[in-house]
Amino acid sequence: MLKILLVEDEKLELETLRDYVDWKSLGVGKVYTARNGRTALECMAEHEPDILITDIQMPVMNGIELTKRVREEGYRCKIIFLSGYDDFEYLKAAFQVQAIDYILKPFSVEEVEKLILRIKGELEKEHTAEVSLKLASGQLLANACEGREENLEEMSETCFGRPVEEKAYGMLAIYGAPEEKHVHRISDLFEVQHAFLSDQMIYVILQAYISFQDAAGRIAKLLEGEGSVAWHTQKLSIKELHTAAVLLSGMQDEMFYGKPGEVVCAHPGDKKTVPVDRDAYHSARQELRRFITAGNGMEADTAMLRCLEELRKGNRRECQREVYGLYLNLHNRLEMEDSRLMEEMDKRSVKPELLILDLGFFSQVQEALRQYVESLCCFYKRQQEDPNFYVSGWVKEYIEKNYAGACSVEEMAEGLRLSPNYLRSLFKAGTGQTILEYLTDFRLQKACELLKDKTQKVKDIGLLVGYENISYFSQVFVKHYGVTPNEYRKMV
């Protein structure tokens, strides 16, 4: 919706314009008014209307002076003059300040509405053209950075209205924050000509008249530590953008291993990759698994750092793939072989290890792996400190797999290498229930789930949950729920 400012010192004429023109049908959402040029300037600064309709003869500051100030201060609104004087000098002065039309008093509402509709159409065309030009110029700059534009001279003339050699830019790159939301936030800054995402970096083309270092600092502050920034020191022609982009891209590894939020001057990347010592890495990885299963958090952390010290010898992508491979090794060797551990790990609300390949900095990758290793250690430490925890988990897993059969306590005890009585006491101490009580609850919960399927017979459901005698099954069910299986089925 458009915004319009009406400036008229005559109250009756101002109210007529404000109240009798059907602004809403014309696509005008806000109508502001002022009685003189000075008040109008204040309104311009606060609301920045799209259209200004102003009388010429007014006290304090007349319409010609007002519109000169409007243009001097950079406002691009469409200007229409109201005048009771059909005088050439006034009209000449009006068009010297780029007025697009005038209305002679006395005016009709129909005349005003017709003029506003025409101006609305012009504004829409200009907006479409501006958006198209902005998209075209942005694409040209992105192509130039990536070395994909062959007709720079011709395209620069079209997009910027000047030869390629007459246009200059600044340039910086953002590392560790490769998200479109950051591109949009940065694009709104006055010093930014264009910003785009490429190869896990955000390239930012700057206006040439600003301090590039200051702009880098402001953008880093805007990112609130989510990304680091490297800025190019020199003003660049459009032909030089590709060379600058290659320089900034070459700093990815250095920025990955640096601290988030850094602001540095662009320079040739000097990180040399070194082959990983596989023997040392595999030895540290074995120690890591051993310390984890022993519940030794401090030693596990030290072993993890030894692994990472080897893996950080590569470039950014290699390092992240290797660290993710280390996580998968622990997952497959530990979690996948212990359902109780897997269940505990699945309960976590946050699983940072799954983001390792997407994180922008080595310190974040290290922290994600550290949290995963700590979670594993906590499980094994708890298991060692509390034998009831291990025994209870083992028995619950056994029951889950065998509840439809006999579920022998003797068989459970043999599997744990404990006496049946000692097993019973450990389970009761760990859960507050006897093994029989837990087994009964588990079986009846399964029965309740099966009873929702009314195509199955109650007798068959009893057999599925470990009760061969239907009468005994019903007796146990009534004792727990106060209703028979058939009555429960009707309730659900």
Query: Do both 238 and 282 map to the same domain?
Result: no
Of 265, 294, 325, the last residue of a domain is: 265
Taking Cα atoms as reference points, which of 274, 360, 278, 371 lies closest to residue 327?
371
Distance CA 93, CA 64 (A): 7
- Residue 144 belongs to what H/E stretch? helix 109-145
Domain boundary residue, one of 235, 265, 295: 265
Q: For residues 352 and 368, is the Cβ–Cβ distance under 8 A?
A: yes
Exposed (0-12), middle (13-18) or buried (19+): which is 477, by Cβ within 10 Å?
buried
- In terms of Cα–Cα distance, which of 104, 109, 73, 72 is closest to 91? 104
* 463 within domain boundaries: yes
C-alpha span between 348 and 330 (Å, rounded): 17
Residue 162 has phi, psi (to 5 degrees) of -155, 160
From residue 388, how far is each of 368, 379, 396 by CA, in Å? 30, 13, 12
pLDDT given for residue 94 in this prediction: 57
DSSP line for 165-204: GG-EEEEEEEES---HHHHHHHHTSTTEEEEEEETTEEEE
- Alpha carbons within 13 angstroms on the beta-carbon side of residue 136 total 15
Range of the domain at 301: 278-385
pLDDT of residue 439: 94
Domain shared by 362 and 308, yes or no: yes
Using CA atoms, how far residue 191 sits from 82, 187, 205, 251, 475, in Å, is 38, 9, 9, 23, 80
Structure tokens at 34: 């002022």
Q: 143 and 243: one domain?
A: yes
Same domain, 282 and 253: no
Average pLDDT per run of 10 along the chain, which is 492 residues long? 92 90 92 93 93 88 88 87 68 63 84 90 82 76 81 59 67 92 88 90 92 94 92 91 94 93 88 83 96 94 96 91 96 88 88 94 96 94 76 86 90 87 88 92 94 90 92 92 91 82
pLDDT given at position 92: 61
The pLDDT score that the predictor gives to residue 288 is 97
Q: Domain holding 168: CATH number? A: 3.30.70.100
Residues 204 and 282 in one domain: no
Domain identity same for 60 and 161: no
Q: Which pLDDT score is estimated for 385?
A: 75
* Whether 434 and 379 share a structural domain: no
- The pLDDT assigned to 86 comes to 60
Q: Residue 237: in which H helix or E strand, if any?
A: strand 236-237
- At 124 the pLDDT is 86
Within a domain: 75:
yes
How many domains does the chain contain in total? Answer: 4
H or E stretch at 205: strand 201-207
- Whether this prediction's pTM lies above 0.75 is answered by no
What pLDDT sits at residue 162? Answer: 56
